[in-house]
């Protein structure tokens, strides 16, 4: 197989959660450009419609599904819709996530449960459903968890995101645990740990800490509109077939120094 063929994804079916904007849309576009039929899910129909229009303008086959992953009992129906529209899922990108800022001593129960449900519970329940129905029977599959560099460490001064940091650390170890159990089925499970990228979720922190973040980064920049594309294609393709249970930090080198 040539190097070009290792990266091609022609005809494969990819599901990207939280795929209507930001990092999710960026990754959906990358997978579609490399030949995937793409399903994207999100809570808001209007944002999904905009994303669909954008992806179809690039010649990508795309299906949109309105789904609130905090309602985990509806995850089987989400998988049903993808399979009915496009066929069995080859690539799952667990990207949807949430954060909430508050001092740890006053952190609301509601906030903790919301972050944990979306960042830990939903990725597991969705991976379980896709693995059981699409990947284990066919002895192949790629699962990519979008964690965060926040899962590699505690919080710096002025940052009050205890649930987010905890949940992303859990997401990284969920990746390792699934990789260990499902390697026998030829399923690769890996994680991407983005640093700061402009997004609705990070806007508040970037407003206050953006200059400091850039100053600490060896590359002196934050993430851009194309900086996850190569990573997600690599982890979704045969080019990474001997890699599982790992994470790649895409953060301009900040976590290394």
164 is catalytic: yes
Alpha carbon separation from 172 to 93, 95, 167, 247 (Å, rounded): 14, 13, 9, 7
Catalytic residue of the set 107, 164, 185, 247 = 164
What pairs with residue 39 in β-bridges? 15, 63
**Of 170, 151, 163, nearest in space to 115 by CA:** 163
Q: What's the CA gap between 50 and 48, in Å, rounded? A: 5
Q: How far apart are CA 169 and CA 69, in angstroms?
A: 19
Active-site positions? 164
């Amino acid at each position: 197989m040539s190097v070009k063929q290792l990266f091609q994804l022609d005809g494969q079916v990819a599901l990207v959660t939280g795929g209507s904007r930001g990092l999710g849309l960026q990754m959906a576009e990358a997978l579609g450009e490399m030949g995937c039929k793409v399903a994207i899910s999100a809570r808001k129909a209007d944002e999904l419609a905009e994303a669909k229009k954008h992806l179809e303008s690039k010649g990508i086959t795309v299906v949109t599904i309105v789904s609130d992953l905090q309602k985990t009992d509806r995850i089987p129906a989400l998988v049903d819709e993808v399979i009915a529209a496009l066929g069995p899922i080859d690539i799952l990108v667990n990207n949807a996530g949430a954060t909430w800022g508050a001092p740890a001593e006053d952190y609301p129960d509601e906030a903790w449960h919301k972050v944990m449900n979306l960042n830990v519970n939903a990725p597991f329940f969705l991976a379980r459903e896709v693995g059981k129905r699409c990947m284990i029977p066919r002895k192949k599959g790629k699962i990519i968890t979008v964690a965060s560099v926040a899962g590699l460490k505690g919080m710096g001064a002025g940052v009050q995101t205890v649930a987010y940091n905890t949940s992303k650390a859990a997401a990284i170890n969920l990746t390792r645990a699934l990789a260990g159990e499902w390697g026998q089925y030829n399923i690769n499970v890996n994680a991407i740990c983005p640093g700061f990228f402009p997004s609705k979720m990070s806007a508040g922190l970037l407003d206050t800490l953006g200059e400091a973040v850039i100053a600490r980064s060896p590359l002196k920049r934050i993430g851009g509109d194309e900086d996850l594309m190569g990573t997600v294609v690599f982890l979704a393709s045969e080019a990474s077939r001997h890699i599982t249970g790992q994470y790649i930090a895409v953060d301009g080198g900040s976590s290394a120094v």
